[in-house]
Amino acid sequence: MSFGRYRSNRWIYRVVTGLAVAVFVLVVGLGWLVATNYKQFGNLVKVIALIKTQYLNPVGYDTMVEGAIRGLVQSLDDPYSAYLDPVTYKHLREQIKGTFGGLGILVGMKDEYLTVARTYRGTPAYREGIQPGDVIYKIDNREVRGIDLETAVQLMRGPVGTKVTLTLVRPNVPNPFEVELTREEITVPTVESRMLKNGIAYVGIVQFTEKTPEELEENISRLKQQGLRAVVLDLRSNPGGELMSAVKVAGRFVPAGPVVYIDYRGGRQEEYPARGNNLGLPLAVLINEHSASAAEIVAGAVKDTGSGILVGQKTFGKGVVQMVFDLDNGAGLKLTTARYLTPKKHDINKKGIEPDVVVSQPPGGQDVQLQKAVDVVSEKLGNKAA
């Protein structure tokens, strides 16, 4: 019995010794950081050694290291920073290149749950009857509560023709249910518009992509031919998107000057300005609790510059910037590296942007928020005429 314990202890000693050498290298490379946290690093070495030698089931070092990386990122308590495993990161790269298939769903986060904000006509999600308000509980049998939004979206995207199964929870339906969908090439315009009345145009932006500014210009040109006099800009349930797209869009509605500041660690700031080609028309901007990120950049610029009236409900409050870094073995790291500041340098992260006119939208029925926005710009047109 004692001999067996001796052999086991010798094995542990060898593992610990080997890992200690690796830690020594880290000490040399990281200097004071490791030296001042030697007890914690020692515990990490001991845990790895014990799992490797004592845990019931064999575990590879790769698995333990990947788990440690995930835990390290999760310890930041930042919902927007995430370790991207090789499959998820591959999907992200495919999205950037435009070679991905999708489902036709616009999603947002509500109380840590991935929630459908909209489905697009003619897409797999629309044909299968997925509805706004549905909660996506699982993606291919993986629970997604608390997952960051971009990672969840990547799990739903993939090569055209491949399948994905969503487990949905629907209000007033007693049990979760599954829907299997086949990914298709999704081409969805990000800007839609129509003339309402008296020269007041509705312009809705569902998300910000590289194509959005160009699409906006096409819509504005068409609306001008129809007698454009005022704009209701709808950013409700817009989850955000590409930074420069938001800056260019804001530039059509606010005067020359800063649209947003990017505030980095250490106090360094970058200013992204509007170029002074704004329409100069009466403007109301619709926002709600699902308006986030790039949508909040536009809303914040409009509010701080006094270029229009915000109507609806307080925005989501995502005022931080992420960068994606390549890791070995095809993995990636999405890390929060800066924060957005409005033109008046307000930090809106976890705070949101308050509307100038608060209007709650009841489920179903008339769009009372849109009606209020129309009333606001109608009043501006009347004052201008006077």
Active site residues: 293, 304, 318
Q: At which residue do the structure tokens 């910000």 appear?
A: 208
Are 349 and 317 a contacting pair, CB within 8 Å?
yes
| Residue type at position 83 | Y
| Pair of tokens at residue 332 | 């990636």
- Locus of tokens 């998300």: 207
